[in-house]
């Protein structure tokens, strides 16, 4: 292995690439199947998490809303960006461990069993070791405690959040400094945040209407706050966040309000905190779409619950439309070429994980020195 290679920044997906290589050799099919499997596992965890949240906060024994939201998450065509790219398996891995950690954290808060605390900590560490934005789950934990835990017990929840955040943050600081430096743009954080106010609107629009989909978007790098689209974006985000906060006032709508705010927290690391060179990438929406899926399905169910036949038909048509869009996009992508392009580009940037992927796709043996 070249001596100039940096310390491994994403060891969990790197380990899965190594296992793929050992079990399936150079066959691309094994890598595709593994990526799909990770996405299915993440979608299943979305269902488990939302079902639990609905039982304890929305008094919903019927799993229709969690099932619809997890299916929407499963078939959404925007996720093809993360699944069809061999290296971006880190995204569904990050999400799976994050959602599992959130579920364990909820069980710990409501059942006070230390085993769930340990599981939450382990999953947070694995999420961050899959990809750095997994740290967003810490923010979501804090939000949950503030929104749902009674004031008398809130201090216990906040202390648990603080203690759970220490190890993931230390790991993040230790492993990711060099990795982030490779991706930093020349923009300062304020300029980057100004640009991302418009980029996030692209993500929200693609959630509802996923057309057109691109791997690289022609996006204006204009960080002038006076830009009229920037002002519109800021106003729109202020309105959405305001709606989320307003919904927290009503017990009936507190859960969808929480999900709206959590979607912003989920997208915050890559679209706010760290100025990354490429401003728009579809895979950054992965975690956020899980929360938006629940909010959308919840409100559709509320508005159309007296028209169950119409709701069922509308839901079915929407799912079939998304599935068809996903199939169409997959059929248009030459996956091997796309994977090869990405790993070559990343290898030029000294990314160790993509270096391994490059060896696989170019059918070279690993250098074990």
Cα–Cα distance list, 136 to 14, 32, 95, 203, 252 (Å): 21, 27, 10, 17, 26
Residue 368 domain flag: no
Per-residue model confidence (pLDDT) at position 106: 97
Q: What is the pLDDT of residues 17-40, one digit of tens each?
A: 888 888 877 777 788 889 999 999
What is the mean predicted confidence (pLDDT) over 250-260?
95
Per-residue model confidence (pLDDT) at position 250: 93
Lowest mean pLDDT among 98-107, 157-166, 203-212, 358-367: 358-367
Indicate if the pLDDT at residue 242 is higher than 80.
yes
Name the DSSP class of 272: I
- For residues 283 and 62, the answer to whether their CB atoms sit within 8 Å is no
Per-residue model confidence (pLDDT) at position 228: 66
Q: What is the pLDDT of residues 145-201, one digit of tens each?
A: 999 999 988 999 999 999 999 999 998 887 766 555 545 555 677 777 888 888 899
- For residues 282 and 206, the answer to whether their CB atoms sit within 8 Å is yes
Residue 5 domain flag: no
What is the mean predicted confidence (pLDDT) over 225-241?
85
Residue 324 domain flag: yes
Residue 88 domain flag: yes
Q: What residues pair up with 276 in beta bridges, in sequence order? A: 184
Task: Look up the domain containing 263 and give its range.
Answer: 11-361
Cβ neighbours for 85, distance < 8 A, ≥ 6 positions apart: 283, 338, 339, 342
- In terms of pLDDT, which residue wins out, 349 or 268? 268
Residue 6 domain flag: no
Only one residue has tokens 């905190």, namely 273
Per-residue model confidence (pLDDT) at position 196: 87
Residue 1 domain flag: no
- In terms of pLDDT, which residue wins out, 257 or 323? 257
Q: What residues pair up with 184 in beta bridges, in sequence order? A: 276
Using alpha carbons, select from 115, 117, 98 the residue that is nearest to residue 164: 117
Residue 336 domain flag: yes
Indicate if the pLDDT at residue 335 is higher than 80.
no
Residue 2 domain flag: no
> What does the radius of gyration of the chain's CA atoms come to, in whole angstroms?
21
How many helical (H) and strand (E) elements, i.e. helices and strands, does the chain have?
Answer: 15, 0
d(Cα 67, Cα 155) in Å, to the nearest integer?
A: 33
What is the mean predicted confidence (pLDDT) over 312-327?
84
252, with CB counted inside 10 A (0-12, 13-18, 19+), is exposed
Task: Report pTM.
Answer: 0.86
Indicate if the pLDDT at residue 243 is higher than 50.
yes
**What tokens appear for 260 in the block?**
């709206």
Give the total number of structural domains in the chain: 1
What is the mean predicted confidence (pLDDT) over 60-83?
89
Using alpha carbons, select from 362, 364, 368, 297 the residue that is nearest to residue 336: 362
Per-residue model confidence (pLDDT) at position 178: 56
Indicate if the pLDDT at residue 115 is higher than 70.
yes
| Average pLDDT taken over every residue of the chain | 82
């Amino acid at each position: 292995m070249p001596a100039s290679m940096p310390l491994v920044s994403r060891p969990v997906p790197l380990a899965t690439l190594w296992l793929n290589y050992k079990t399936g050799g150079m066959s691309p099919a094994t890598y595709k199947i593994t990526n799909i499997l990770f996405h299915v596992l993440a979608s299943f965890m979305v269902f488990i998490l939302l079902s639990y949240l609905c039982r304890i906060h929305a008094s919903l024994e019927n799993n229709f809303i969690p099932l619809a939201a997890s299916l929407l998450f499963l078939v959404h065509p925007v996720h093809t960006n993360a699944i069809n790219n061999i290296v971006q398996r880190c995204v569904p891995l990050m999400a799976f461990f994050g959602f599992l950690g959130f579920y364990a954290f909820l069980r710990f808060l409501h059942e006070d069993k230390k085993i769930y605390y340990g599981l939450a900590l382990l999953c947070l560490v694995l999420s961050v070791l899959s990809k750095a934005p997994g740290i967003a789950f810490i923010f979501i934990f804090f939000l949950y405690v503030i929104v749902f835990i009674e004031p008398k017990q809130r201090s216990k929840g906040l202390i648990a959040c603080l203690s759970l955040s220490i190890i993931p943050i230390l790991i993040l600081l230790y492993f990711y400094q060099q990795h982030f430096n490779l991706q930093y743009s020349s923009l300062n954080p304020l300029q980057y945040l100004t640009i991302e106010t418009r980029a996030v609107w692209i993500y929200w629009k693609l959630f509802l209407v996923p057309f057109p989909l691109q791997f690289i978007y022609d996006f204006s790098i204009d960080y002038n706050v006076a830009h009229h689209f920037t002002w519109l974006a800021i106003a729109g985000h202020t309105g959405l966040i305001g709606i989320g906060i307003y919904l927290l006032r009503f017990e009936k709508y507190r859960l969808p309000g929480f999900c709206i705010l959590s979607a912003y927290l989920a997208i915050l690391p890559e679209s706010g905190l760290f100025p990354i060179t490429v401003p728009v990438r579809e895979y950054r929406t992965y975690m956020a779409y899980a929360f938006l899926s629940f909010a959308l399905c919840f409100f559709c169910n509320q508005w159309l619950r007296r028209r169950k036949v119409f709701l069922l038909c509308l839901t079915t048509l929407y799912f079939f439309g998304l599935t068809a869009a996903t199939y169409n996009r997959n059929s248009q992508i030459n996956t091997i070429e796309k994977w090869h392009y990405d790993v070559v580009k990343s290898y030029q940037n000294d990314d160790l994980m993509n270096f391994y992927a490059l060896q696989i796709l170019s059918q070279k043996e690993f250098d074990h020195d």
